[in-house]
Amino acid sequence: MKAFLTGCLLLLLSACSSLPSQQPLLTPAHEQGDFSISSRISARTSEQSFAGLMTWQHSGSADEVLLSSPLGQGVARILSTPAGATIENAQGERRSAPDAESLTAELLGWRLPLNHLSNWMNDTSAASEQQRDGWHIRYVERDAQRHPTALDLSYGDIEIRLRSIRWDDVSSPATKP
């Protein structure tokens, strides 16, 4: 009888340990599937502002982002890999840094949290707001697959808004600025 009760107790404990977590588990960026999005973007700090268009292609652990003016003229192209990030402006000038966030902070005057953004874009949980890595993320709207179609990000005095996010076929690459 004692062995039977011990077996039942172990069965109950193992069943409880396999219950799903209430906190959504985010997939590391390098393990996510490839995706491509385009959206309107606005970024504002106490000293700078930018409004325009963003095309972003995420492929494995590499990201390519094209920032354009509201009329579609290329402003900057950002390439980010685990080895570092490079930004190229419309005049062909290039700079590199260890990551896209520090590079955009230095050159654009506002941080683009590209290393974390792929996780936030792929979060299909029911959460409408969350705090991650010092950033406040607000999911304003989502599509039928729960992908965000409008997203607000803030960090200190930085406010970034992505609107009319369109999830494209991954074969639509960004182009040069």
What is the percent of the chain with per-residue pLDDT over 70, rounded to a whole number? 77
Q: What sign has the CA pseudo-torsion 44, 48, 51, 52?
A: negative
User: Is the confidence at residue 61, as pLDDT, over 90?
Assistant: no
Task: Please list, in sequence order, all residues whose beta carbon lies within 8 angstroms of the beta carbon of residue 166, skipping any fewer than 6 positions away.
Answer: 37, 38, 39, 149
Closest by CA to 176, choosing from 84, 78, 77, is 77
Taken in order of first residue, the domains within the chain and their CATH numbers are 29-168 (2.50.20.10)
pLDDT the model gives residue 169:
57
pLDDT the model gives residue 122:
87
Cα angle, residue 66 at apex, residues 122 and 137 outer, rounded to 5°:
35
Q: How large is the angle between the packed helices 100-108 and 114-121, nearest 10 degrees?
A: 120
For 8-23, the pLDDT digits (tens) are 333 333 333 332 333 3
Strand (E) positions, 13-93?
35-44, 49-59, 62-68, 74-81, 84-89
What are the beta bridge partners of residue 159? 44, 154
Band the pLDDT of 56: cuts 50, 70, 90: very high
pLDDT the model gives residue 170:
53
When the pLDDT of each residue in the chain is averaged and rounded to a whole number, the result is 80
pLDDT the model gives residue 90:
87
